[in-house]
Amino acid sequence: MGAKVTKAVIPAAGLGTRMLPATKAVPKEMLPIGRKPALQWIVEECVASGIELVILITGRYKGALQDHFDVAYEVEDTLRLAEKSELLDRVTPLSEMVDVVSIRQHRALGLGHAVACAEPLIGKDESFAVLLPDDIMFGKTPAMRQLIDVYTETGLGAFSLVEVPPGSESMYGIVSGEHLGGQRYRVRSMVEKPQPKDAPSNLGIVGRYVLPGTVFDYLADTKPGRGGEIQLTDALIRLMENEGFIGQILDATRFDTGEVGGLMEANLAVAMADPVLRQRILKFLKPYLEGES
């Protein structure tokens, strides 16, 4: 049985190059999905999953990420004086929902390096969650809560999986292993971004992890690879071999909001879940859809 998971790491130091020029001056994590920036959806998932401390791994020009979860006196006082209580209720809970701290990743040396930056706030004796902010996941049960439950049941590190479309294996870390029933696998091998012909399966790793604190030792021993980056997958392979790993296909819909199509799809999903916005969107789309028929 795994211990309680109360800390989460969100690596958010990337430049968002897939979304340029929108991300030239605005962090990609602050691009909106509905009324909320993408990062807020991730942090709310953390809170709903029992996380008590969120650790943002940030870079230069990313101060807006932590500012979003701070008290905004000017905004709040203006809304309070104007008696705009509905708008005030959208803003004030942000500074109270969870403790948020940030650590600066001074150089972009890969996802493994970003996760390693959180060691001073976690240590080697505590398991923790990792959520990649490009992956927005909507489900009846929060995606991270589902993965924490896997860890709690098995005591092993865990990550989320998706069935990868044929031909796109080179965009994912691909795993293979024993099917344990349902949507769960005991992972026996991992390959980072293989060519489709070399992929061991169609199961790809996507942005949710629960990792034991021992991963920091594996990260410290991981040599830089292509581009001088420290790959998280390299450390996870050794963790898998020595301690074991579980892969789980989550009951959630995933959107890659680090690229324009995924961001638009996530916005449409949020809009279609709102009865008023749904009717507005359907009315707007009707002439376009009729024109294609």
Q: Cα–Cα–Cα angle for 106, 209, 241, nearest 5°?
A: 100
Please, what are the domains in the chain? Answer: 7-258 (3.90.550.10), 260-293 (no CATH)
Residue 86 is predicted with a pLDDT of: 87
Look at residue 141 in the predicted model and tell me its pLDDT: 95
Q: Angle formed by the axes of helices 38-48 and 143-154, to 10°?
A: 40
- The b/e string for 226-254 (b: 16+ C-beta within 10 A; e otherwise) is eeebbbbbbbbbbbbeeeebbbbbbebeb
pLDDT on residue 2: 58
Contact 72/28 with Cβ under 8 angstroms? no
Q: Are 67 and 26 in contact (CB under 8 A)?
A: no
How far is residue 84's CA from residue 235's CA, in Å, rounded to a whole number? Answer: 50
Sign of the C-alpha dihedral, residues 72, 74, 79, 80?
positive
The 10 Å Cβ neighbour count of residue 42 is 26
* pLDDT per position as a tens digit, 15-58: 888 888 988 989 999 999 999 999 999 999 999 999 999 999 99
Residues 6+ apart with CB under 8 A from 174: 164, 190, 191, 193, 194, 199, 200, 201, 202, 203, 204, 205
Q: Digits of tens for pLDDT over the chain (293 positions)?
A: 657 899 999 999 888 888 889 889 899 999 999 999 999 999 999 999 999 999 999 988 888 888 888 887 687 778 787 878 888 778 787 788 899 999 999 888 899 999 999 999 998 899 999 999 999 999 999 999 999 999 999 999 999 999 998 888 888 889 999 999 999 999 999 888 889 888 899 999 999 999 999 999 999 999 887 778 898 989 999 999 999 999 999 999 999 999 999 999 999 999 999 999 999 999 999 998 887 65
Q: What is the pLDDT of residues 115-141, one digit of tens each?
A: 999 999 998 899 999 999 999 999 999
- The burial of 292, by beta-carbon neighbours within 10 Å (0-12 exposed, 13-18 middle, 19 or more buried), is given as exposed
Q: In the structure encoding, which two tokens stand for residue 215, read together?
A: 């991963």
- Distance of alpha carbon 180 from alpha carbon 209, whole angstroms: 19
pLDDT in tens, 146-159: 999 999 999 999 99
